Amino acid sequence: MTAPERTHRGRARIAGPGEGIGLHELALATRNHGMPLEALRYDVTPPGLHYVLTHYDIPAVDPDNWSLEVGGAVGRPLRLDLDDLRRRPAVTARVLLECAGNGRARLEPRPAGQPWLLEAVGTAEWTGTPLAPLLEEAGLSPGAVDVAFTGADHGVERGVEQDYARGLPLAEALRPDVLLVWAMNGAPLPPQHGAPLRLLVPGWYGMAHVKWLTRVEVLDHLFDGFQNTVAYRMRTGGADDGAPVTRIAPRALLAPPGWPDSMTRERFLRPGPVTLTGRAWSGRAPVTGVEVSTDGGATWTVADLAPTDPAHPHAWRAWRCTWDARRGDHELVVRATDAEGAQPTEQRWNRQGMANDLVQRVPVTVLG
Amino acid sequence: MTAPERTHRGRARIAGPGEGIGLHELALATRNHGMPLEALRYDVTPPGLHYVLTHYDIPAVDPDNWSLEVGGAVGRPLRLDLDDLRRRPAVTARVLLECAGNGRARLEPRPAGQPWLLEAVGTAEWTGTPLAPLLEEAGLSPGAVDVAFTGADHGVERGVEQDYARGLPLAEALRPDVLLVWAMNGAPLPPQHGAPLRLLVPGWYGMAHVKWLTRVEVLDHLFDGFQNTVAYRMRTGGADDGAPVTRIAPRALLAPPGWPDSMTRERFLRPGPVTLTGRAWSGRAPVTGVEVSTDGGATWTVADLAPTDPAHPHAWRAWRCTWDARRGDHELVVRATDAEGAQPTEQRWNRQGMANDLVQRVPVTVLG
């Protein structure tokens, strides 16, 4: 833990060859939390198992003294409290979320940051009211192009003190499935998921779903805040701006079969037929197939993929595949394909470790 | 991440000087999760913020096909399903839990294992039925000395395949506040906290509160299973047996004031009066005081400590202290004292990193 861990102002640090996780990254890993992959068994992730990523601290927001401002390039600015919002039409949607940094810690070299392996996912039932009618009531100015969403969470990021804020293109903000959410899995939104109100932008990585929402500001220019222009970019060199991180790339995950070693998380199982199960999703296009390899990617078998549920187009989909497990060491690999292509078996690197889509590999030992 | 990470059979590995966290320990850190310390603000930890430590996988237990066996050295073995248990007298208790490995990752040298910093704590409202009347109905044999509790979670630990099982001295098992628990914070026990039934042993570290309980076995001899004889020992050398880990040592924690840097978790605040707040507890004796230092431990101020709530003797207690923050860098330190002594300011090391009680240190920068 002796390597220099400070990030440089405005630029994410890249770990050196063989460098382990230091105390700073560990402090993130113990605060934030992933979904243990055996929880892929649940259609809806139970409370407390859904992944959580908090940039700063979880703010203490008093719901009785809280209100949401809708302003900026609008004709009639609005201020609404929770009761105002709850009186509006309510929708419940089952939506998968994935952190844009999922998979970062397996990249080589490793970008410093929240060191996710593959567990920064979850699917919940979110209840709220559509955003678009509110924006229409506020009266969008003809020149409106972006909508900025600001949360109550406050901190410093690469030298810039800020409230967390993200811009979203107006066309996305006006989608009928974009919600202002106050409940999760039928219960009030927990503090770590954005109580009392968060944004939900189905299909986009987690950074778009702003938590602890305090202000919605319509802009007649492109949002130029930190979280869009500095963070959440697909940079490969040190100087390029990189494309913005937006929709979730396709991914399939396997619930590791058998039982683990408590320390190494190596997996063991008995020989014979095994049903491999997991989930698959994509935020950019419907998943068209899931394939499984039990020999490290040399050969692939098409898995049975549950059809898209018309009631839940943004939920993950279950898949399964039978494997006749024989004694010895095997590497299980799984990959999803959507209309734009399949997950790669070799990493695509970028310096913030964003929108990673590398296949999952699960070594297993079948006992004799 | 190139250092050898395999644990040796029967012995925990110690990290080398300056060695960062490797992929195996990171896989534990991303699965298990701590309570972000700002959540010290809640009397009862909200769902999903309570710490979770799972040795193996979270098992899939079907509550409709589940039952609890009570057997061993008893006259009348029992088998009870959830309805049987829920028909018995129910008690709700507000109880603090802390993982026995809390603080492990700050030890030097660092024992390999779940790399907790200081966040492996939480206080919940647990609802269940007292264990003692059940044991009495089963008819304890005169020679009974220990009670073994076995969970449905299965894995390998230092080469030993096992269902998680812990022995508890009979005198502890017969305490009226030891419960068989099916609800947490008024809701059914979530999967990761032991659904459908777990044990609660107020005052003991987390390893005693066996989750996914399937069997209670009264023993006429001392329990000799792995989790009591190999794991959870206060070993200092390589060969000594070490004392067993039992009750929670005193600890005070501070909710870090101000706002954080998102990556380094360094803290910043503005000058002027600041109310420092946190919680304190001990599982071995009532906490008698909490002291705060704002100069790295050179001088100490007595904090205001909330009285013990007679309704919740095993809950954590709130403390507070006003600090006139002046521009510059400061190190905040907090320590609890109980009837047996105060937290040490220098580490007490043991090779599994168990029952750590080192004071918390929070560096802060007061801006000009």
**Does position B89 have pLDDT exceeding 50, yes or no?**
yes
Could you tell me which chain B residue has the CA closest to the CA of A49?
B48
Do A115 and B26 make contact, defined as CB atoms within 8 angstroms?
yes
Same domain? For B225 and B268 the reply is: no
Over the stretch A81-135, which tens digit does the pLDDT of each residue have?
999 999 999 999 999 999 999 999 999 999 999 999 999 999 999 999 999 999 9
Q: Whose CA is closest to A98, among A309, A354, A318?
A: A354
The structural domain count of chain A equals 2
Residue A244 is assigned to a structural domain of this protein: no
Same domain? For B345 and B199 the reply is: no
Same domain? For A133 and A42 the reply is: yes
Measured distance CA(B57)–CA(B192) in Å, rounded: 9
pLDDT of residue A95: 98
pTM of the predicted protein model? 0.96
Over the stretch A22-72, which tens digit does the pLDDT of each residue have?
999 999 999 999 999 999 999 999 989 999 999 999 999 999 999 999 999
Over the stretch B135-166, which tens digit does the pLDDT of each residue have?
999 999 999 999 999 999 999 999 999 999 99
The answer to whether B76 faces chain A, any CB pair under 8 Å, is no
Of B231, B265, B298, at which residue does a domain stop? B231
Over the stretch B277-293, which tens digit does the pLDDT of each residue have?
999 999 999 999 999 99
Give percent above pLDDT 90 in chain A.
93
| Interface predicted TM-score of the whole assembly (ipTM), two decimals | 0.94
Do B41 and A60 make contact, defined as CB atoms within 8 angstroms?
yes
**Does position B250 have pLDDT exceeding 60, yes or no?**
yes
Same domain? For A89 and A184 the reply is: yes
Could you tell me which chain A residue has the CA closest to the CA of B258?
A155
Q: How far is CA A315 from CA A123, A183, A229, A312, B50, in A?
A: 6, 17, 29, 5, 26
Over the stretch B321-365, which tens digit does the pLDDT of each residue have?
999 999 999 999 999 999 999 999 999 999 999 999 999 999 999
* The length of chain A, given as a count of residues: 368
Do A259 and B161 make contact, defined as CB atoms within 8 angstroms?
yes
Q: What is the largest CA-CA distance in chain B?
A: 73
Same domain? For A199 and A265 the reply is: no
Task: Nearest by CB to A22, from B20, B23, B193: name it.
Answer: B20
Task: Nearest by CB to A263, from B1, B19, B24: name it.
Answer: B24
How does A134-167 read in b/e, with b if 16+ C-beta sit within 10 Å?
bbeebebeeebbbbbbbbbbbbbbbeeebbbbbb
Beta strands A213-219 and A68-72 are parallel
Amino acid, res. A329 = D
Q: Name the band, by pLDDT with cuts 50, 70 and 90, for residue B237.
A: confident
Q: How far is B362 from chain A (nearest CA, A)?
A: 13
Over the stretch A318-338, which tens digit does the pLDDT of each residue have?
999 999 999 999 999 999 999
**Does position B3 have pLDDT exceeding 70, yes or no?**
no
Task: Nearest by CB to B20, from A20, A56, A158: name it.
Answer: A20
**Does position A3 have pLDDT exceeding 90, yes or no?**
no
Q: Name the E strands within B185-327.
A: 187-188, 198-200, 213-219, 233-234, 243-244, 251-254, 259-260, 267-269, 272-281, 287-293, 301-302, 304-305, 317-325
Domain that holds residue A73: 23-231
Measured distance CA(A291)–CA(A301) in Å, rounded: 5
Measured distance CA(B73)–CA(B221) in Å, rounded: 10
Task: Give A183's Cβ-side CA count (13 Å radius).
Answer: 15
Of B166, B201, B231, at which residue does a domain stop? B231
**Does position B6 have pLDDT exceeding 60, yes or no?**
no
As a whole number, the mean pLDDT across chain A is 95
Residue A242 is assigned to a structural domain of this protein: no
How does B266-303 read in b/e, with b if 16+ C-beta sit within 10 Å?
bbbbeeeebebbbbbbbbeeebbbbbbbbeebeebeeb
Same domain? For A41 and A128 the reply is: yes
- Given a contact cutoff of 8 angstroms between Cβ atoms, the answer to whether B46 and A60 are in contact is no
Q: Name the band, by pLDDT with cuts 50, 70 and 90, for residue B5.
A: very low
Same domain? For A303 and A211 the reply is: no
**Does position A182 have pLDDT exceeding 60, yes or no?**
yes
Of B231, B260, B289, at which residue does a domain stop? B231
Residue ranges of B 241-260 with Cβ closer than 8 A to chain A: 256, 259-260
* Residue A96, helix vs strand vs coil: strand
pLDDT of residue A2: 33
Do B21 and A19 make contact, defined as CB atoms within 8 angstroms?
no
Q: Give the CATH number, domain containing residue B70.
A: 3.90.420.10
- B40 token code pair: 């010290």
Same domain? For A63 and A161 the reply is: yes
Q: How far is A254 from chain B (nearest CA, A)?
A: 14
Do B38 and A55 make contact, defined as CB atoms within 8 angstroms?
no
Report, as an integer, the average pLDDT of B39-68: 97
Report, as an integer, the average pLDDT of B246-256: 98
The answer to whether A20 faces chain B, any CB pair under 8 Å, is yes
Q: Give the CATH number, domain containing residue A295.
A: 2.60.40.650
pLDDT of residue A11: 63
**Does position A9 have pLDDT exceeding 60, yes or no?**
no
The answer to whether B26 faces chain A, any CB pair under 8 Å, is yes
Residue A347 is assigned to a structural domain of this protein: yes
* The length of chain B, given as a count of residues: 368
Over the stretch A295-318, which tens digit does the pLDDT of each residue have?
999 999 999 999 999 999 999 999
Measured distance CA(A287)–CA(A250) in Å, rounded: 7
As a whole number, the mean pLDDT across chain B is 95
Cis bond leading into A196, ω under 30°? yes
Report, as an integer, the average pLDDT of B113-142: 97
The answer to whether B265 faces chain A, any CB pair under 8 Å, is yes
Residue A334 is assigned to a structural domain of this protein: yes
Do B263 and A112 make contact, defined as CB atoms within 8 angstroms?
yes
Do A3 and B20 make contact, defined as CB atoms within 8 angstroms?
yes
How does A187-200 read in b/e, with b if 16+ C-beta sit within 10 Å?
eebbbbbbbbbbbb
- Please give the full DSSP string across B169-226, using - where no structure is assigned: EHHHHTSTT-EEEEEETTEEPPGGGTTT-EEE-TTB-GGGS-SSEEEEEEESS----H
Same domain? For B313 and B193 the reply is: no
Do A263 and B112 make contact, defined as CB atoms within 8 angstroms?
yes
Contacts of A48 in chain B (CB under 8 A): 47-50, 52, 190, 192-193
Residue A15 is assigned to a structural domain of this protein: no
Measured distance CA(A269)–CA(A138) in Å, rounded: 59
The answer to whether B108 faces chain A, any CB pair under 8 Å, is no
Cis bond leading into B109, ω under 30°? yes
Residue B29 is assigned to a structural domain of this protein: yes
Measured distance CA(B189)–CA(B182) in Å, rounded: 5
Q: Name the band, by pLDDT with cuts 50, 70 and 90, for residue B18.
A: confident
> Which residue of B263, B264, B275, B362 is the best one to mutate when testing the A interface, meaning the one whose CB has the most A CBs within 10 A?
B263
pLDDT of residue A282: 98
Residue B5 is assigned to a structural domain of this protein: no
* Residue A27, helix vs strand vs coil: helix
The answer to whether B19 faces chain A, any CB pair under 8 Å, is yes
Number of Cβ atoms within 10 Å of the Cβ of B309: 12
Same domain? For A227 and A279 the reply is: no
Q: Name the band, by pLDDT with cuts 50, 70 and 90, for residue B239.
A: confident
Same domain? For A133 and A185 the reply is: yes
Same domain? For B331 and B201 the reply is: no
- Given a contact cutoff of 8 angstroms between Cβ atoms, the answer to whether A211 and A194 are in contact is yes
Task: Nearest by CB to A21, from B26, B191, B260: name it.
Answer: B26
- The DSSP call for residue B57 is -
Q: Name the band, by pLDDT with cuts 50, 70 and 90, for residue A18.
A: confident
Measured distance CA(B29)–CA(B185) in Å, rounded: 25
Residue A11 is assigned to a structural domain of this protein: no
